[in-house]
Amino acid sequence: MCDTCGCQLHHHHHADPKIVEVNQSLLAANQKQAESNRHHIEQMGAVAINLISSPGSGKTTLLERTIEILKDTFKIGVIEGDIETERDADRIRAKGVPAVQLTTGGACHLDAPIVHGGLHVLEHLAKGGKYDLIFIENVGNLVCPATFDLGEHQRVILLSVPEGSDKPVKYPATFRSADLMLITKTDLVPYFDFSMDEATKEAGILKPGLEILPLSATTGDGFERWIAYLHGLLKR
């Protein structure tokens, strides 16, 4: 064991260090749960959308308006992620749709295990446990949520006009992970120096071919394309 001093029986020498090759993603556990969530969601008959944006970019308002338009056409369920409070879930319930509030108690993002719990509650809230569309509103944060697959089928990133058109360049990892980018609060364009051109160009460099839809939940402008996109998802 130890040749240097000739002592073979004593404990004071440690065993030789051992090198273990792991080569595994640190996100493997989350990824595994995410795959299982995706399967679970499909068993529920649904397509799931993960909504990510900075705080206050209009995620809940988008959902309220979308529910008003689609609730007689599709069975919709919503999972709300926030650090604290039931407020966003209450806003969704007021529209007559089942909503689960997940509070992370400080964590800046949802992860797949938390959403797994939410799916079970959502299943319980619907007769027969069936849905067409499940929206998951992530914790308001443009950085952290991007790293965690929740088991969604589509990831939608919202960028609101008051935040500025430089956000894609400044938060590239988030915009690269998007399946669709919504530019929200377009009714405010006259009051801010937001450049539609810059936002769409930079996002298009980060993720070539990324679909980008500008809309306003206040005026309803741009909603036809958003609703058409949702219909498209359900036809697949």
Q: Which residues bind Mg ion (CB under 5 A)?
A: 59-60, 88
For residue 6, give the 3-state DSSP assignment. coil
Angstrom distance (rounded) from CA 146 to CA 57 = 16
Closest to Mg ion by CB, 60 vs 216, is 60
Q: Write out the binding residues for ligand GTP, residues 126-165 only, by CB under 6 A.
A: 140
C-alpha distances (whole Å) from 11 to each of 8, 18, 19 are 9, 17, 21
Q: Sign of the C-alpha dihedral, residues 208, 219, 52, 39?
A: negative
Angstrom distance (rounded) from CA 196 to CA 189 = 9
Closest to another protein by CB, 8 vs 24, is 24
Q: Which of 179, 187, 198, 211 binds ligand GTP (CB under 6 A)?
A: 187
185 makes contact with ligand GTP (CB under 6 A): yes
Closest to ligand GTP by CB, 33 vs 160, is 160
Compute the least distance from the CB of residue 113 to another protein, in Å. 11
167 makes contact with ligand GTP (CB under 6 A): no
Residue type, 169: V
Compute the least distance from the CB of residue 55 to ligand GTP, in Å. 4
CA 157 to chain centre: 8
Q: Which residues here bind ligand GTP, judged by CB under 6 A?
A: 53, 55-61, 88, 140, 184-185, 187-188, 216-218
